[in-house]
Structure 1
Amino acid sequence: MLNLRTLSVTLGKAAVIANNVKRGKKVVASSNGTSVQEAEQRTIESICNQDKTAASLICQLKKRHSTQISTMPMMKDILGVVATLGKTNDDNLSSLLSEYLGIDNMLGLVCKTYDGIKSLETYGTEGNIDKKSGIHGLGGSIGKILHGRFTVFCLENIRPFSGEVVIDDPQRYLMLRKPRLPNGESPPGFLGFAVNMILMDQAYLSCLTPHGHGLRETLFYSLFSHLQVYKTTADLRRAIPFINDGAVSLDGGILRPNGSFCLGDRKDVEVKFTVALSSGDSNTPGSITEMEEQVKLKNWEKERFVEDIKREEDLLKQVKDSFSNQKQQLLDYITQSPASKVNC
């Protein structure tokens, strides 16, 4: 088990290193010419601009009231918003996958447990929503009223990918079977599976369910399944006999799993995944991105360590209470008169 003091020291060192890198070196740029941090902030701002949504409320609370909400059980169970949990290495791919998922899924909240889901919304005796509790009450406390429905994903309730993952790769890519022509080759233009084109920060890679499944095996597999990605719409259409769970193409083609096509002009996507560094640059030693990811990871580990301690303390208290009760029963029995013991 992690040592809390060691973890705190490591966390502090990582933060200092990240700060030194930020002051002494140029911030690493993403593939669209801006820093990854700026791109992440743009994603968060785009979510905040979705007024009266649960995702907007959560992002604003974390941005402006992080200290006050950090100890709230409901907020601690919310891992984040779908759009903030993954990245892509290309702006066009980001727009395409975000369009495929749709705004409701991109703004979906992701909770770790079902208890977190229950804490978000409570109901009266007639099934009406209690606007003074849960996320509704939290929004009302800062003058933000939620409007309409919102999607919430529960990691522990999602049926995970049942196949193998690439264990020796930090991204834990899924080992999916590629479509094959009769000659054994993949269809022309086939680039891969969308679920494996999502990149995750180290902190989110460390987020596992009690059964050891990561975000790619649960959340992103439930969203994309075996969605295939092709270079062009022409490539996609030629490969239709080999497509079972839908496909997209880099020039904007979308084939849904139910067999329907999305036609017409593409429109600007309001909320999309952050564009990350290319895979060749993302591991640059000493980069600010790497240092900040280390800080995120250590914060995540520290949070889990504290939760483990709390759980162990609760179990210890239960054992002590049980022991005290049994001890008292034994003392009561010992102090009973012999006649009473015979009657027992």
Structure 2
Amino acid sequence: MLDGEMHDGELHNVEIVKNHTQKLQDDLQKLALKVKHHEDNMKFLKTQMDNIDESILDMQVNLGKYHSSSAALEQSNDVSAIQSEQQTVGKILQQVKTAAGIICQMKIRHGFQASKLQLTKDVLGIVATLGKVNDDNLSRLFSEYLGLETMLAIVCKTYEGVKALEKYDREGMIDKNAGLHGLGPSIGRLLNGRFLVFCLENLRPYIGEFVPEDPQKKLALLKPRLPNGENPPGFIGFAVNMIDVDHMHLSCLTPNGHGLRETLFYTLFSHLQVYKTRGDMQNALPFISDGAISLDGGMIKSSGLFNLGDRKDVEVKFLISPGISKPANVIEIEEKLKLMSWQKERLAEDVQREEALLNQAKNLFNIQKQEFVKYLSETASHIKQAQSMAGRTGTL
């Protein structure tokens, strides 16, 4: 009876060992499949990145041919554009104790390296330097409408960039030895007072269509219409569409692929209308919801809020566009190049995440494999001991 009971007990133990061993094997197999899944994803993503790199290289070669052939033709325009930028940057530098002045000073001193520093790598620029207009009068009007504080605002791509600009101690007070406050004294500038920062990824973008085939990707805003279907007399257009944006900033600046026009400038101007004269603007009051300005200095901030009195020039104004007209195919290539660069950035982020998941799966697989081998070894040892004891009992 005792032998029978031992026999049944041994069979039961063997069944337990067998089931547990099978479970460990199944778990290990699942982890192995998970590792292979992430490895396949990594290969796929890297193949996509390689294809994008090849396309980018081809487009850069084509753009290089265009720029080299048209360099002499654009030289005079480039000179005027550089002079306009120098004047604007010079005015910003004159704004002592401002964050904008510190950022511009940094770019002048460190050039390209400023885009690599942790503090400023996410800073796209100052509002005044990110838009151009083709008319000095419009530049002055737009600058007056926005005001000096907004013209000097810093523009960051992400909230991480915003956080890098200002640090706080445990009591919530500004740490004067970190961020822009700490950087200022090192370049001979002290930061005093508040300053505005726009975070592109947190701005609510324009949701709507764009003007078809427009190289500047102007917004297809609904124009004011009289009952007869015509525009109000003197209506010129919307301020947000009168800003020229560098092609590199037209799209793909945010994780969702939005550019400066539908984020920053739409936030600043919304549906601000532009008219020829004050009289035209006043006659169109029923059609004005988000403000209007006129070329002769009239200004309505919003519905019911009028700015009266003499116009006042703001010290810092928008750049004047050199009026360079690029061929449509060149603009298309530049836009595709920007899109592919943005896609490459997103793929790089995907690769980074996938690599982390792969390493995690591999580590877990190795740990469970070691535990499985250890379990098999311990089980084999127990079986051997049981068989040895059974042998000795049998001889007795």
The TM-score, its normalising length taken from structure 2, stands at 0.74
In structure 1, distance between residues paired with 2:90 and 2:220: 34
Structure 2 portions without partners, runs of 5+:
1-48, 383-396
Judged with a 3 Å threshold, the aligned counterparts in structure 2 of structure 1 residues 20 and 133 are, in CA distance, closer, same or farther, namely farther
Structure with greater helix percent: 2
Equivalent in the alignment of 1:81: 126
Tell me by how many angstroms 1:213 deviates. Answer: 2.0
In structure 2, distance between residues paired with 1:121 and 1:300: 31
Match of 1:27 among 75, 79, 82: 75
In structure 2, distance between residues paired with 1:47 and 1:150: 13
Judged with a 3 Å threshold, the aligned counterparts in structure 2 of structure 1 residues 144 and 115 are, in CA distance, closer, same or farther, namely same
Tell me by how many angstroms 1:223 deviates. Answer: 0.5
2:237 is the alignment partner of 1:196: no
**Deviation by residue 1:241-285 (Cα, 9 ceiling, x = unmatched):** 11111000000000011522222222222111111134xx52279
2:117 is the alignment partner of 1:72: yes
Tell me by how many angstroms 1:186 deviates. Answer: 1.0
CA contact (8 A) 1:121 1:135 kept: yes
Tell me by how many angstroms 1:38 deviates. Answer: 1.5
Equivalent in the alignment of 2:168: 123
Tell me by how many angstroms 1:65 deviates. Answer: 1.0
Larger deviation, residues 76-85 vs 63-72: 63-72
2:325 is the alignment partner of 1:282: yes
Equivalent in the alignment of 1:156: 201
CA contact (8 A) 1:206 1:297 kept: no
Tell me by how many angstroms 1:128 deviates. Answer: 0.7
CA contact (8 A) 1:132 1:140 kept: no
Paired amino acid for 1:89:
N
Mapping 1:1-344, distance limit 5 Å:
1=49, 3-4=52-53, 7=56, 18=67, 22=71, 24-25=72-73, 27-29=75-77, 35-278=80-323, 281-283=324-326, 305=344, 308-309=347-348, 312-313=351-352, 315-336=354-375, 337-338=378-379
Larger deviation, residues 165-174 vs 106-115: 165-174
Tell me by how many angstroms 1:115 deviates. Answer: 1.2
In structure 2, distance between residues paired with 1:164 and 1:180: 19
Larger deviation, residues 175-184 vs 2-11: 2-11
Structure 1 portions without partners, runs of 5+:
none
Paired amino acid for 1:221:
Y
Tell me by how many angstroms 1:69 deviates. Answer: 2.8
In structure 2, distance between residues paired with 1:340 and 1:249: 93
Structure 1 vs Structure 2 CA RMSD:
3.3
Equivalent in the alignment of 2:5: none
**Deviation by residue 1:18-74 (Cα, 9 ceiling, x = unmatched):** 57755x4562338xxx61122122222221221111111111111211244332233
The TM-score, its normalising length taken from structure 1, stands at 0.84
In structure 1, distance between residues paired with 2:214 and 2:174: 44
CA contact (8 A) 2:52 2:340 kept: no
Larger deviation, residues 41-50 vs 221-230: 41-50
SS in 1 for 2:76: coil
SS in 2 for 1:79: strand
CA contact (8 A) 2:252 2:338 kept: no
In structure 2, distance between residues paired with 1:179 and 1:216: 21
**Deviation by residue 1:116-165 (Cα, 9 ceiling, x = unmatched):** 11111111122110111122222233232111110000111111112222
Judged with a 3 Å threshold, the aligned counterparts in structure 2 of structure 1 residues 340 and 77 are, in CA distance, closer, same or farther, namely farther
CA contact (8 A) 2:272 2:292 kept: yes
CA contact (8 A) 2:115 2:122 kept: no
Judged with a 3 Å threshold, the aligned counterparts in structure 2 of structure 1 residues 10 and 132 are, in CA distance, closer, same or farther, namely farther
Larger radius of gyration: 2
**Deviation by residue 1:314-333 (Cα, 9 ceiling, x = unmatched):** 54144223312332223213
**Identity rate of aligned residues, in percent?**
49
